[in-house]
């Protein structure tokens, strides 16, 4: 086993990995940019080293700095987390050269699945179904029209190097094709430095269902069931759950075996995710392989009683998978919400800033994978995800009820969060019936949302009285300046806050 692991990441995933290290008796090493000195991952890890300025291209994305910190600290392995360098084969190669184990697949396997078209070639070779369309980048406008006609409208254009919805356009009819191609191509060129596009059949109300696989270095590959990630906003997953509400044991076996077949064909090792679209007739089509740990891995952990980060580390250390496919048993249901510092009432605008007060939910079935704390300032240099709230229940209804309870308990003041959006989604009949598809949330936000969002929740007379009472108390105590609480830079709590805390300690319970 490794002695010391460098975590080449920040935020909740760095905290998550440091915790797994601690569980395994392995020392953890954090790296941090200038704005992350006080971040939770630095506080939780055993050691931490600075790697430069706030912009990630000068810190978290600089391979030399990561390798340098790992060498300096004497690390024998690097865990990349997700995002940043996680799917960059250059880091995996640099690790090999430095004699440090990369906790993930080999650079070759990453490249094999790195571009969507390359991955689809692998899928076709092993007879895993793909969405009808091209496998290769489209070279010319004539070719584009010919392939679109052959596939049948509607079609969707996607960036070869793409992800996160960039360089993606759906096209209803032939007259819109040329303009969509131009737009998507220039968007892809800007985002990825690669303007090449391919074309797929646009499926009506497809679901996003992905299979988690684990592959050791001895040829053993298992699948750990599926995750349904159909609740997405502009192609970004928002809520994930396991199992999928539409899954059958037979479909799970088929999709799981397809995923294992693909992983084997790509020489894949460590944890990976094979993403599929599933249509209304429960036909599944291969989408892509994510060659890393996924944000939503906890829902799989909850229903399979596994620790995927621990498994990743064990696999990288050369250990054999401790269980076989027939040992994988699914138990209960888990749902995850990605909590972001963003304002759902203001076009989901990011809302960085200092967290003044915070309440963390807990209790039966609740797990909070978190990277923040009250008093900490959410920097505006990175993805504004604060953490993930996960609920487990013996069935889907219980998981929903527990998640609703936890969302009601959760708050973070000083910043805006998207918690109210989850409360709203979970209350919809569509979500409760599992009647969701990849564009469901976009459709809901555009059309289905109640015009008066304030109409949700309890607006009883008593609640209004409490609101008025609290507003009056706030005014009496703070009314002079909205800037109370912390200094603008959040460097230290003001005396007001210190006094407030003192007051709480000294206060006798009222009778």
Partner 1 sequence: MKLEIALNGKAHQVELAQIGERLRCAIDGTPLKADAVQIGPGIYSILIDGESLEVRVEPDGGGLCVAAADHEWRAEIRDPRQWRRNRSGGSEAEGRQQVSAPMPGKIVRVLVRAGETVEVKQGLFVVEAMKMQNEIRSPKSGKVERLLVSEGQTVNAGEALAIIT
Considering the complex, what minimum distance in angstroms separates the CB of residue 41 from partner 1? 24
- From 292, 338, 358, 402, the catalytic residue: 292
Residue 193 binding partner 1, by CB under 8 A: no
Is 499 a binding residue for partner 1 by CB under 8 A? The answer is: yes
We find the least distance from the C-beta atom of residue 413 to partner 1, in angstroms, to be 5
C-alpha to C-alpha distance for 276 and 285, rounded to whole angstroms: 5
153 touches partner 1 by CB under 8 A: no
Beta strands in 64-111, from DSSP E residues, in sequence order: 77-79, 101-102
Residue 510 touches partner 1, criterion: CB under 8 A: yes
Given a contact cutoff of 8 angstroms between Cβ atoms, the answer to whether 213 and 292 are in contact is no
- For partner 1, the closer CB: 70 or 355: 355
- State the nearest-atom distance from the C-beta of 356 to partner 1, in Å: 5
Minimal distance in Å, beta carbon 471 to partner 1?
4
Question: H or E stretch including 208?
Answer: strand 207-215
- One character per residue 353-372, x = contact with partner 1 (rule: CB under 8 A): ---xx-x-------------
Place of tokens 């209350």: 427
CA distances from 454 to 33, 44, 85, 344, 409 (A): 39, 38, 41, 12, 18
166 scored as a contact of partner 1 (CB under 8 A): no
As a whole number of angstroms, the distance between CA 449 and CA 466 comes to 27
Helix (H, G, I), strand (E, B) or coil at 5: strand
Which residue in 25, 450, 482, 488 binds partner 1 (CB under 8 A)?
Answer: 482
The binder of partner 1 chosen from 43, 282, 423, 449 (CB under 8 A):
423
414 binds partner 1 (CB under 8 A): yes
Q: Which of residues 11-70 bind partner 1 (CB under 8 A)?
A: none
Q: Is 279 in a helix, a strand, or coil?
A: coil
- Pick from 204, 280, 329, 468: which binds partner 1 (CB under 8 A)? 468
Which are the contacts of 160, defined by CB distance < 8 A and separation ≥ 6?
A: 115, 116, 117, 137, 188, 194, 196, 197, 198
Question: For residue 369, what are its two tokens?
Answer: 């994978």
Q: Which of 472, 487, 491, 492 binds partner 1 (CB under 8 A)?
A: 472
x/- map, 435-464, partner 1, by CB under 8 A: -------------------x-xxxx--xxx
Cα–Cα distance between 333 and 428 in angstroms, integer? 19
Binding of residue 492 to partner 1 (CB under 8 A): no
What letters, b where the CB count within 10 A reaches 16 and e where it falls short, cover 252-281? beebbebbbbbbeebebbbbbbbbbbbbee
Whether 149 sits among the annotated catalytic residues: the reply is: no
For partner 1, which is the closer residue by CB, 126 or 502? 502
Q: Does 420 bind partner 1 (CB under 8 A)?
A: yes
Phi, psi of 438 (to 5 degrees): -65, -25
Least distance between partner 1 and beta carbon 463 (Å): 6
Least distance in angstroms from the C-beta of 408 to partner 1: 4
3-state secondary structure 17-61: HHHHHHHHCCEEEEEECHHHCCCHHHHHCCEEEECCCCCHHHCCC
Contacting range for partner 1; rule: CB under 8 A; set: 154-162, 193-201, 227-235, 497-505: 497-505
Site string for partner 1, 227-246 (x = CB under 8 A): --------------------
Whose tokens are 């003192």? That residue is: 502
Among 483, 487, 491, 492, binds partner 1 (CB under 8 A): 483
108 is a contact residue toward partner 1 (CB under 8 A): no
Cα torsion 275, 281, 282, 288 to 10°: value is -10
If one asks whether residue 495 binds partner 1 (CB under 8 A), the answer comes out as yes
Beta strands in 279-410 (DSSP E): 284-290, 333-340, 342-343, 349-350, 353-354, 357-359, 366-370, 377-378, 385-393
Spatial contact of 8 and 352, defined as CB atoms under 8 Å apart: no
Greatest extent of the chain over all pairs of C-alpha atoms, in Å: 81
Contacting residue, 24, 328, 411, 445, with partner 1 by CB under 8 A = 411
Is residue 346 a contact residue for partner 1 (CB under 8 A)? no
- Measured at the CA of 34, the angle between CA 31 and CA 37, to 5 degrees, comes to 60
Question: Using CB under 8 A, which of 152, 479, 487, 491 touches partner 1?
Answer: 479
- Phi then psi for residue 351, to 5 deg, are -130, 70
Task: Give 449 or 484: the residue with its C-beta nearer to partner 1.
Answer: 484
**Binding partner 1 by CB under 8 A: which of 190, 475, 491, 492?**
475
The nearest distance, CB 487 to partner 1, in angstroms, is 11
We find the least distance from the C-beta atom of residue 388 to partner 1, in angstroms, to be: 20
* Part of the chain binding partner 1 (CB under 8 A), chosen from 167-175, 188-196, 293-301, 501-509: 501-509
Residue 49: phi and psi, rounded to 5, are -135, 140
Task: With both helix axes pointing from N to C terminus, report the angle between 89-98 and 107-114 in degrees, rounded to the nearest 10.
Answer: 170
Candidates 39-47, 201-209, 381-389, 488-496; binding stretch for partner 1 (CB under 8 A): 488-496
- State in angstroms the smallest separation of the CB of 414 from partner 1: 7
- Site for partner 1, rule CB under 8 A: 356-357, 359, 408-409, 411, 413-414, 420, 423, 454, 456-459, 462-485, 494-497, 499-504, 507, 510
Please identify every residue annotated as catalytic. Answer: 292
């Amino acid at each position: 086993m490794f002695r010391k692991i460098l975590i080449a990441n920040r935020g909740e995933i760095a905290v998550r990995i440091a915790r797994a290290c601690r569980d395994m008796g392995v020392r953890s090493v954090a790296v941090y940019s200038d704005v992350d000195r006080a971040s939770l991952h630095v506080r939780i890890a055993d050691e931490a080293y600075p790697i430069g300025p706030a912009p990630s291209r000068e810190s978290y994305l600089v391979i030399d700095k990561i390798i340098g910190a790992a060498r300096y600290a004497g690390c024998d392995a690097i865990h990349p987390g997700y995002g940043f360098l996680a799917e960059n084969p250059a880091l995996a190669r640099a690790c090999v050269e430095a004699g440090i184990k990369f906790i993930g697949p080999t650079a070759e396997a990453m490249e094999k699945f790195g571009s969507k078209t390359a991955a689809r070639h692998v899928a076709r070779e092993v007879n895993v179904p793909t969405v009808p369309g091209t496998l290769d980048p489209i070279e010319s406008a004539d070719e584009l029209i010919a392939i679109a006609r052959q596939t049948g409208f509607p079609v969707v254009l996607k960036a070869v190097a793409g992800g996160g919805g960039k360089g993606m356009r759906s096209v209803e009819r032939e007259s819109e094709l040329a303009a969509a191609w131009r737009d998507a191509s220039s968007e892809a060129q800007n985002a990825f430095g690669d303007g090449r596009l391919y074309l797929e059949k646009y499926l009506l109300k497809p679901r996003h269902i992905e299979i988690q696989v684990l592959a050791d270095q001895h040829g053993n590959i298992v699948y750990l069931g599926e995750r349904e990630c159909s609740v997405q906003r502009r192609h970004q997953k928002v809520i994930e759950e396991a199992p999928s509400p539409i899954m059958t044991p037979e479909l799970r076996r088929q999709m799981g075996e397809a995923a294992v077949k693909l992983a084997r064909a790509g020489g894949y090792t460590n944890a990976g995710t094979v993403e599929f679209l599933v249509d209304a007739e429960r036909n599944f089509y291969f989408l892509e392989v994510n060659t890393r740990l996924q944000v939503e891995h906890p829902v799989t952990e909850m229903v399979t009683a596994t620790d995927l980060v621990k498994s990743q580390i064990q696999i990288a250390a050369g250990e054999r998978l401790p269980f076989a496919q027939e040992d994988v048993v699914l138990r209960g249901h888990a749902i995850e919400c990605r909590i972001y510092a963003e304002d759902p009432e203001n076009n989901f605008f990011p809302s960085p800033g200092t967290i003044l007060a915070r309440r963390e939910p807990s209790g039966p079935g609740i797990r909070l994978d978190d990277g923040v704390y009250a008093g900490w300032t959410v920097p505006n240099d990175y993805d504004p995800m604060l953490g993930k709230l996960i609920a487990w229940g013996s069935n889907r209804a219980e998981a929903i009820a527990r998640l609703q309870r936890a969302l009601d308990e959760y708050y973070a003041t000083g910043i805006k969060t998207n918690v109210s959006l989850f409360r709203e989604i979970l209350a919809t009949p569509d979500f409760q019936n599992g009647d969701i598809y990849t564009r469901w949330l976009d459709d809901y936000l555009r059309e289905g949302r109640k015009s008066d969002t304030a109409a949700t929740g309890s607006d009883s007379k008593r609640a209004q009285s409490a609101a008025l009472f609290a507003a009056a108390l706030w005014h009496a105590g703070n009314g002079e300046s909205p800037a109370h609480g912390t200094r603008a830079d959040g460097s230290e709590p003001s005396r007001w806050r210190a006094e407030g805390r003192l007051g709480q300690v000294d206060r006798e319970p009222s009778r």
